[in-house]
Amino acid sequence: MAPTEFDLIDQFFSGMGASDHVLVGVGDDAAIIEMIDGWVLHVSTDTLTEGVHFLPDCSASDIAYRAVMTAASDLAAMGAAPRAMVLALSLPEPDTAWLEAFCTGLRAASADARLPLVGGDTTRGPLVITVTVMGATPADQCLLRSGAAPGERLCMSGTLGDAAAGLSLLRGELVATDPTDTAFLTARFLRPTARIPLGESLRGVATAAIDISDGLIADSTHLAKKSGVALQIDHRLLPRSTAFSAVVEPSQQLAYLLTGGDDYELLFTLPQSVQLPEGCTEIGRVMAGSGVSCDGMSAVGGYDHFGH
Amino acid sequence: MAPTEFDLIDQFFSGMGASDHVLVGVGDDAAIIEMIDGWVLHVSTDTLTEGVHFLPDCSASDIAYRAVMTAASDLAAMGAAPRAMVLALSLPEPDTAWLEAFCTGLRAASADARLPLVGGDTTRGPLVITVTVMGATPADQCLLRSGAAPGERLCMSGTLGDAAAGLSLLRGELVATDPTDTAFLTARFLRPTARIPLGESLRGVATAAIDISDGLIADSTHLAKKSGVALQIDHRLLPRSTAFSAVVEPSQQLAYLLTGGDDYELLFTLPQSVQLPEGCTEIGRVMAGSGVSCDGMSAVGGYDHFGH
């Protein structure tokens, strides 16, 4: 007898749902999550489809890991402490080997992002993965896109352009001479890291934040618009990994840095008085006005799912 | 220029996100929902795919309405007050007419279920709709599947078998002589109602609850298992609509009543001392033991997405 939907869920998705805050996990009509008095709930959902968000030959483990981390990154950008996630999985048929690999990646991401899996729905259909994540912050410490003020510093975590370069390597559009560079850059695309601890540390410290998912220009434009400010970026300050600098031609680097997406680093604004967190870089400043400029030139663009 | 993903979301999914509890809706990295001190969060996710959960010729409005209500029904079964929902929508192409109809149904369901839409992700791909719903109850008033005790009454809301009969009518497997019956029964399938007010009224009153989505036998089996009790159903007590009785042959009725799914009524257990809520029916009793029986015969079955 083929495994039923319920068997699949029980068998593969069990054992990832424990946390101090999970009062009831998988197995009732809904999961129940404890909330701390005075804290508010943050929620975000992300859906990934084959051919759009991952390559057809991606491993199931990487697909799951990436699905969780891209959703978790939205919590990081809010400064939220992770609480729980639910997974909706549409897949062509209950393929045991695929599901086992998928769950390996899911389990790793659940642990790395501190997001217990408290519910799911598995159904037959085309491969579509939807992860909804929930987090919490004190009610008076939400990190929005809208708090930046002129005179502040524009900062970001990590390095930029790595994931876009990794994707180009996977597609054969770029070639690396050093396999270590290939491994690093492709992992930055396939296995992104949501900057959850950094986000939590920026609560009450940064004035605005967003995660860089669509590209630096696109996401800084969102932040500028919501805050009602202009953002000036100095391209010489943009943080590059050694692998990125080795693999991407100097003439191509700016395009990757400004419009390459999928890095899932945090972009945030800091008052002058606040120290830059470790591993972060000041890349520009907040000015009165509107829009985003790089080296004094106005910038537009960014990745769009329907636009390509 | 074709509308971008962001345009689509802004254009169609706006204006459904307001509520006293929504502090930040669509437009930041995550939505922010206020929680009442001492209350806990309930969350559930449901995914619908074309061909499995709805017929290819279903109207987009009905698809959206049904997607929300099937998810909301899980909150009803927990006794939860609705707080917010997020929607992940994968669709083949940005079809304006389809999206407009979809949003009409979405808007109606959002209002009827009191679930503001606070976030979404739209992506190109096969038609898959995932709705994640969030609700809240006082921490000490969660309505689980696990609280039923021997001696209590087994009760349900509304009538049974209507949605399954409606689906059979839509598929041409049943024929009705009276178009009013067809309209009623097909609406029960296409436009189910999550029993949210009833669920809230059962908080602290009913001892266990589940919604009837997979069929009476399947769902009562879940409740029996979680509560560690046996459930005895008397088929003569099962509530039938006049349309159901008119359309379904007497010899076929029991199959529809016991294994037809999609009614989204609440099945719950009540102590003898508690009055039956209006519109509800006592259909059996809770006994020591395990499993579900109907008229003294052991029963197994129920709808399963992969099993058919």
Same domain (yes/no): B129, B236: no
> Out of A8, A41, A125, whose CB is closest to B128?
A125
Percent of chain A having pLDDT more than 90? 76
Residues 188-217 of B with CB under 8 A from A: 209-211
- Does the beta-carbon distance from B226 to A28 stay under 8 Å? yes
Which of B106, B138, B170 is a domain's end point? B138
- Which chain B residues contact residue A145 at CB under 8 A? 27-29
- Give per-residue burial for B157-171: e unless 16+ CB within 10 Å, then b: bbbbbbbbbbbbbbe
What separation in angstroms does the CA of B307 have from each of A10, A29, A155, B214? 16, 21, 53, 12
With 90 as the cut, is the pLDDT of residue B278 above it?
Answer: yes
pLDDT tens for each residue of A158-189: 999 999 999 999 999 999 999 999 999 999 99
Same domain (yes/no): A124, A221: no
> Out of A33, A49, A86, whose CB is closest to B123?
A49
Same domain (yes/no): A200, A257: yes
Indicate which CATH number applies to the domain containing A60: 3.30.1330.10
The answer to whether residue A146 is domain-embedded is no
- Average pLDDT in chain B: 91
pLDDT tens for each residue of A58-97: 899 999 999 999 999 999 999 999 999 999 998 887 778 8
With 80 as the cut, is the pLDDT of residue B7 above it?
Answer: no
The answer to whether residue B144 is domain-embedded is no
Judge whether B42 and B138 are in contact, CB under 8 Å: no
Q: Which of A211, A127, A224, A249 is nearest to B49 (CA)?
A: A127
Same domain (yes/no): A56, A171: no
Same domain (yes/no): A189, A281: yes
With 60 as the cut, is the pLDDT of residue A306 above it?
Answer: no
What integer is the mean pLDDT of B248-252?
95
- Does the beta-carbon distance from A29 to B130 stay under 8 Å? no
- Distance (Å, whole) CA A22 – CA A83: 8
Q: What is the pLDDT of residue A272?
A: 96
pLDDT band at A44 (very low <50, low <70, confident <90, very high): very high
The answer to whether residue A21 is domain-embedded is yes
Same domain (yes/no): A210, A166: yes
Same domain (yes/no): B217, B243: yes
- Average pLDDT in chain A: 91
Interface confidence, given as ipTM, is 0.89
> Out of B33, B78, B120, whose CB is closest to A40?
B33
> Out of B5, B37, B45, whose CB is closest to A88?
B45
The answer to whether residue B33 is domain-embedded is yes
The total domain count for chain B is 2
Q: How many CB atoms lie within 10 A of CB B2?
A: 10
Domain span holding position A59 = 5-138
What integer is the mean pLDDT of B165-184?
96
Residues 229-268 of B with CB under 8 A from A: none
pLDDT band at B5 (very low <50, low <70, confident <90, very high): low
Tokens describing residue B200: 């809230």
With 50 as the cut, is the pLDDT of residue A221 above it?
Answer: yes
Which of A138, A162, A189 is a domain's end point? A138
Instruction: Give the phi and the psi of residue A58 in degrees, each rounded to 5.
Output: -65, 145
- Give per-residue burial for A131-166: e unless 16+ CB within 10 Å, then b: bbbbbbbeeebbbbbbbbeeebbbbbbbbbbbbbbb
- Does the beta-carbon distance from A123 to B31 stay under 8 Å? no
Indicate which CATH number applies to the domain containing B250: 3.90.650.10
Q: Which residue has the higher pLDDT, A238 or A128?
A: A238
Same domain (yes/no): A10, A130: yes
What is the three-class DSSP state of A209?
A: strand
Residues 9-28 of B with CB under 8 A from A: 23-24, 27-28
Which of A138, A171, A202 is a domain's end point? A138
Q: How many CB atoms lie within 10 A of CB A1?
A: 5
> How close A57 comes to chain B (CA, Å)?
17
- Which chain A residues contact residue B40 at CB under 8 A? 23, 32-35
At position A181, the amino acid (one-letter code) is: D
The answer to whether residue A308 is domain-embedded is no
Instruction: Give the phi and the psi of residue A232 in degrees, each rounded to 5.
Output: -110, 120
Strand partners, B90: B123, B128
Strand ranges inside B92-229, DSSP E: 117-124, 128-138, 153-157, 208-212
The answer to whether the predicted template modeling score (pTM) of the entire model surpasses 0.95 is no
The answer to whether residue B168 is domain-embedded is yes
> How close A293 comes to chain B (CA, Å)?
21
> How close A25 comes to chain B (CA, Å)?
10
Q: Which of A54, A53, A45 is nearest to A75 (CA)?
A: A45
Number of cross-chain residue pairs from A and B with Cβ atoms under 8 Å apart: 245
Same domain (yes/no): A234, A130: no
Same domain (yes/no): A108, A187: no
With 70 as the cut, is the pLDDT of residue B137 above it?
Answer: yes
Same domain (yes/no): A243, A134: no
B47 in reach of chain A (CB within 8 A) = yes
